[in-house]
Amino acid sequence: MGTSPAKLSAQPPNKRRKVTASSVPQTATTATAAPKTVPAAGSKPAAGAPAKAAAPKAAAPKVDEDGLWMIVGLGNPGSNYDDTRHNVGFKVIDELAAAAGIDCRKLEKSAAVGKGELHGKQVLLVKPVTFMNNSGESVAALAKFYRVPPGRVLVVADDLDQPTAQVRLRQRGGHGGHNGLRSIIERMGGTQDFPRIKIGIGRPSGPMPIASYVLQPFSKGEKPEIDTAVQESIVMIKSVLALGLEKAASGHRV
């Protein structure tokens, strides 16, 4: 520490030591090491410096596929919606139920449901009757009641962004603007880790609003293509149950 004022005044005046900046000890703050240089935002690393590896994308959790499967078709209830573009998910469930002899007239958790067996797996066929935008209410309630994890909830829905009658199976994904899928994601706690089959319905060629377009029936020229797409979707569902989701998603079929 530096010489105190008390000590300075105790010395004889003619021998009082002159205090200079050089005679005062350095404080701890001035003795610390210089801070590390932080690169400016957007600056490039020096040549030869190792590149920082990108964080890997999180994989969907592995699911035991031997339990009960929920096969969910999305649509709107009521006969006036039966043949509309938005109800192609319902159409798949109706055709699958008829082929498998499963009665889907029971109402449970705001959905028409039917239990049965397909390719050695127990299935619950589901058609929410909450109207499209609230589909997640019944889907989440049924999944919770039957203890079905998201990975065994297979959803069939229409897709504006695919050409009419194109069918795609995905292991997971976002809602893509589809309000039925959006509702399911929200009601199931935000998870996107459930498989889905999307059937293309195309987009309107003119200025027609999307809300009006999806509630219109398919044209005569589209109906045969959609019928084929429905059967293709049923084959995909059976392939998921018989071969497993990963194989079915990579193109394997029963």
In angstroms, the CA 191 to CA 225 distance is 32
CA-based nearest residue to 178, from 80, 69, 83, 89: 89
CA-based nearest residue to 144, from 195, 190, 189, 97: 189
CB atoms within 10 A of CB 215: 16
CA distances from 233 to 73, 167, 169, 197, 240 (A): 11, 7, 9, 7, 11
Query: What is the side-by-side order of every strand in the sheet holding 153-159?
Result: 106-107, 111-118, 121-128, 69-73, 153-159, 196-200, 167-170
CA-based nearest residue to 169, from 201, 197, 200: 197
What residues are labeled active site? Answer: 86
